[in-house]
């Protein structure tokens, strides 16, 4: 299978970036995060791109970054939470090992509610998160080859559960 060893998807704040790094360490492979690629390429934060140019411009930048990373990277790849909104991206994920990290709304508010770096949750995070999940849950499920619940688990415990669910052995 070409492409990343594992692609991580799931909503904002579920721990894709945190667990992605831990998984890479445990498996002895490299880690890449498409949000980091976008910030490096654009020379500005994700929040700045949203404020300056709006969500649709961000999505176009994101789509290009995700497609590039899927073609280039062979380690652990974490996507931004909305990357799966793009049908072309979902098509590229078919045939990949894709882990969907999930959580319920209370856990989401705990992790992201006060974090202004995520512009989509800046106002009324609980309601916004529910609406985002109504629109996206089926897309995460569509692309996933494994679903890992993160509620009440530490990042290390989630990493362990992911290694089990993905049937991956450590280096």
Ligand X SMILES: O=C(O)C1=C[C@@H](OP(=O)(O)O)[C@@H](O)[C@H](O)C1
Q: Is 59 annotated as a binding residue?
A: yes
17 counts as binding Mg ion under rule CB under 5 A: yes
CA distances from 122 to 21, 46, 64, 127, 159 (A): 26, 13, 25, 11, 28
Among 150, 159, 161, 162, binds ligand ADP (CB under 6 A): 150
Give the burial class of 152: count Cβ atoms within 10 A of its Cβ; 0-12 exposed, 13-18 middle, 19 or more buried: exposed
35 counts as binding ligand X under rule CB under 6 A: yes
CA distances from 72 to 3, 58, 138 (A): 7, 21, 27
| Rounded CA separation 138/104 (Å) | 15
Min. distance of Cβ 21 from ligand ADP in angstroms?
A: 8
Per-residue binding string, ligand X, 85-124, x by CB under 6 A, is ---------------------------------xxx----
Please give the annotated binding residues for Mg(2+), written as ranges: 17
Which residues form the interface with ligand X (CB under 6 A)?
12-13, 16-17, 35, 46, 80-82, 118-120
Annotated binding site for ATP: 13-18, 118, 153
């Amino acid at each position: 299978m070409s492409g990343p060893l594992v692609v991580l998807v799931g909503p904002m704040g579920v721990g894709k970036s945190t667990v992605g790094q831990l998984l890479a360490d445990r498996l002895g492979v490299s880690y890449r995060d498409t949000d980091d690629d976008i910030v490096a390429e654009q020379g500005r934060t994700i929040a700045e791109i949203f404020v300056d140019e709006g969500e649709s411009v961000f999505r176009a930048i994101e789509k290009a970054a995700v497609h590039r990373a899927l073609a280039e990277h062979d380690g652990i790849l974490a996507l931004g939470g909305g990357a799966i909104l793009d049908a072309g991206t979902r098509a590229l994920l078919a045939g990949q090992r894709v882990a969907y990290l999930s959580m319920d709304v209370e856990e989401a508010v705990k992790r992201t509610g006060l974090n202004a770096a995520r512009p989509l949750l800046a106002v009324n995070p609980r309601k916004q998160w529910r609406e985002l999940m109504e629109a996206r849950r089926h897309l995460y499920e569509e692309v996933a080859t494994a679903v890992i619940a993160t509620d009440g688990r530490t990042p290390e415990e989630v990493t362990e559960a992911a290694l089990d669910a993905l049937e991956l052995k450590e280096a």
